[in-house]
A and B are shown apart, each in its own frame.
Chain A
């Protein structure tokens, strides 16, 4: 049996979980195994209609009177118990914060091997060949994953969301794990909502990025002006954050935000791999750089060789004239 940990918001599955199900279904098909889902939360049972198109045959809905909100250990322990109960050979999750955390707990409890951020998993039974992302996908690791129970997470946005050849009618089974105090010692006590100012980086259609070439905090005003005109938002490289010019929230890259705008205008940024993995999702990249040999000039779609301090204000003025 292949068991997919499906994250959902009030009974609507997350896109990343549906991507993961594409990976899990391929495995189930190859192994001629049953594809099942494990879900948490009050509205878990509502997923019955949602998951049929993806070929889920059984939904295991974890309920426990002490599992109200998210509890990493409690959830991981529940998944581990369910795996033992059902004899599942593989547990899959999306490569999200929660997906990684819950599976890591289950893997630690089961003492089972776990491969994260997979982009391809093949094989059957106890032995898989996996390809997984390292360095945000600028490097791919080929690995063997073997064991009675195996854990895998699917790299985000690598698998397409695909429906199964035929729709199933999943059964819903309530599963009540036996939990001790120790499993419930960490849980979400409350959620604090933040007032988002402007457009979040991850959602912006236009991102204007500034790197070390901006030269100081003041000159980001020029980038802000351009971004505002284009209905976009400003991002930065880690070098600029380390200089203290911008807050870490603005960082694009491996240890920052992932962006997917229609256009990313990268100003004074050299194009290090750790930066570029953050803008893989950008449709087009325009680099403004004084150095025609900078790596970003190869990685971008368009380039302007010049000083951003001259080009950006002039561009802003020109756009004001046409709009």
Chain B
């Protein structure tokens, strides 16, 4: 079984989001980057499925040259191959992204072994457009299900489960299929030091994606970091001395006692 996991490089924002002066992007000068948590689970899921069923795993991202860092994280987790759809670092919208990924999937893998399972994160951490996986599926005419937190494959059929209030919806889908997953579907492994070293030397394929025009526009004009309430909390006290204060708070203010 050949499994593809599509991932995205996002800033590891900490306690506060700071924007660049032109309000066009997050000021990342003091930030590290990571892949979105849902996608980390997509990579883990791809690897686990191939561990069970045999085959090969491929990680793919559309992003700037620096996004090879996230592909190498995938390789260090023991994905077999990686491909970068290299952009100039501009933020691409969901339709352009989906179209470029669909085109790349048609061309990969080289030996014409088609992907049986195409995994996406349910929504990216930084943009949360909730549509790239679905649009890719439509372009490739593949069945698709989103928001999945449990996945089992047997005899070419994927049984996928989505959490709903009080239970789970169960889907059964013939492969090949697109599945977008949520964090919690598995516990992503930590790569060993050795695997990280090896991943650094592994080859990353590169493709230059075309930025296609589609009818209509969905385009960012600017970002805004809403005023956070930065007034300090009322300090009830230090250490166990504060306990009577907390009890008083829970009793009279919050009224939960």
A307 within 8 A of B: yes
A322→B250 CA distance, assembly (Å): 11
Known A144-B221, A147-B215, A230-B256; contact A139-B146, beta-carbon cutoff 8 A: no
User: In the complex, what residues of B have CB within 8 A of residue A143's CB?
Assistant: 218-221
Q: Are A231 and B256 in contact (CB under 8 A)?
A: yes
Q: Are A297 and B254 in contact (CB under 8 A)?
A: no
**Minimal beta-carbon separation of B187 from chain A (angstroms):** 7
**Minimal beta-carbon separation of B130 from chain A (angstroms):** 4
Contact with B along A113-144 (1 / 0, CB 8 A): 11111000000000001010111011111111
B156 within 8 A of A: no
User: In the complex, what residues of B have CB within 8 A of residue A271's CB?
Assistant: 15
Interface positions, chain A 89-133, Cβ under 8 Å from B, are: 97, 100-101, 104-105, 107-109, 111-117, 129, 131, 133
Q: Are B169 and A263 in contact (CB under 8 A)?
A: no
Interface positions, chain B 82-135, Cβ under 8 Å from A, are: 93-95, 98, 123, 125-131, 134-135
B9 within 8 A of A: no
Contact with A along B214-229 (1 / 0, CB 8 A): 1111111111111011
Say which one of A52-60, A159-167, A184-192 lies at the interface with B.
A184-192
Q: Are A302 and B234 in contact (CB under 8 A)?
A: yes
A111→B17 CA distance, assembly (Å): 33
Say which one of B42-50, B69-77, B137-145, B203-211 lies at the interface with A.
B137-145
Q: Are A191 and B239 in contact (CB under 8 A)?
A: no
Q: Are A194 and B182 in contact (CB under 8 A)?
A: no
A270→B102 CA distance, assembly (Å): 40
A248→B253 CA distance, assembly (Å): 32
User: In the complex, what residues of A have CB within 8 A of residue B135's CB?
Assistant: 104, 107-108
User: In the complex, what residues of B have CB within 8 A of residue A113's CB?
Assistant: 93, 95, 214, 216-218
Q: Are B234 and A186 in contact (CB under 8 A)?
A: no
**Minimal beta-carbon separation of A87 from chain B (angstroms):** 15
Q: Are B257 and A191 in contact (CB under 8 A)?
A: no
B32 within 8 A of A: no
Known A139-B26, A315-B247; contact A187-B17, beta-carbon cutoff 8 A: no
Q: Are A107 and B171 in contact (CB under 8 A)?
A: no
**Minimal beta-carbon separation of A242 from chain B (angstroms):** 8
**Minimal beta-carbon separation of B255 from chain A (angstroms):** 8
B164 within 8 A of A: yes
Interface positions, chain A 40-92, Cβ under 8 Å from B, are: 70, 72-73, 76
Say which one of A21-29, A31-39, A170-178, A249-257 lies at the interface with B.
A249-257
A199 within 8 A of B: no
Please report the number of residue pairs spanning A and B whose Cβ atoms sit closer than 8 angstroms. Answer: 275
A270→B216 CA distance, assembly (Å): 42
- A186 CB contact (under 8 Å) in B143, B168, B237: B143
Name B residues whose Cβ lies closer than 8 Å to a Cβ of A.
Answer: 13-17, 26, 36-38, 93-95, 98, 123, 125-131, 134-135, 137-139, 141, 143-147, 161-162, 164, 166-174, 177, 182-184, 187, 214-226, 228-240, 242-247, 249-251, 253-257
Q: Are A116 and B128 in contact (CB under 8 A)?
A: yes
From DSSP, what is the main secondary structure of chain B's interface residues? mixed
- B214 CB contact (under 8 Å) in A111, A140, A149, A238: A111
A41→B130 CA distance, assembly (Å): 24
User: In the complex, what residues of A have CB within 8 A of residue B127's CB?
Assistant: 134, 141
A300 within 8 A of B: yes
A interface size (C-beta, 8 A): 97
Name A residues whose Cβ lies closer than 8 Å to a Cβ of B.
Answer: 70, 72-73, 76, 97, 100-101, 104-105, 107-109, 111-117, 129, 131, 133-135, 137-150, 153, 182, 185-194, 196, 205-206, 230-232, 238, 244, 248-249, 251, 254-256, 262-263, 270-274, 283-287, 292, 295, 297-307, 310-311, 314-315, 318-319, 322-323
**Minimal beta-carbon separation of A223 from chain B (angstroms):** 14
A301→B249 CA distance, assembly (Å): 11
Q: Are B171 and A142 in contact (CB under 8 A)?
A: no
Q: Which residue of B lies closest to A314 (CB)?
A: B240
User: In the complex, what residues of A have CB within 8 A of residue B138's CB?
Assistant: 105, 108-109
Q: Which residue of B lies closest to A144 (CB)?
A: B219
Q: Are A134 and B171 in contact (CB under 8 A)?
A: no
User: In the complex, what residues of A have CB within 8 A of residue B230's CB?
Assistant: 298-299
Q: Are B13 and A135 in contact (CB under 8 A)?
A: yes
A103→B226 CA distance, assembly (Å): 27
Q: Are A263 and B254 in contact (CB under 8 A)?
A: yes
User: In the complex, what residues of A have CB within 8 A of residue B134's CB?
Assistant: 76, 101, 104-105, 107-108
Q: Are B250 and A72 in contact (CB under 8 A)?
A: no
Q: Are B233 and A111 in contact (CB under 8 A)?
A: no
- B184 CB contact (under 8 Å) in A148, A150, A251: A251
Q: Are A116 and B130 in contact (CB under 8 A)?
A: yes
Q: Which residue of A lies closest to B129 (CB)?
A: A116
Q: Which residue of B lies closest to A130 (CB)?
A: B218
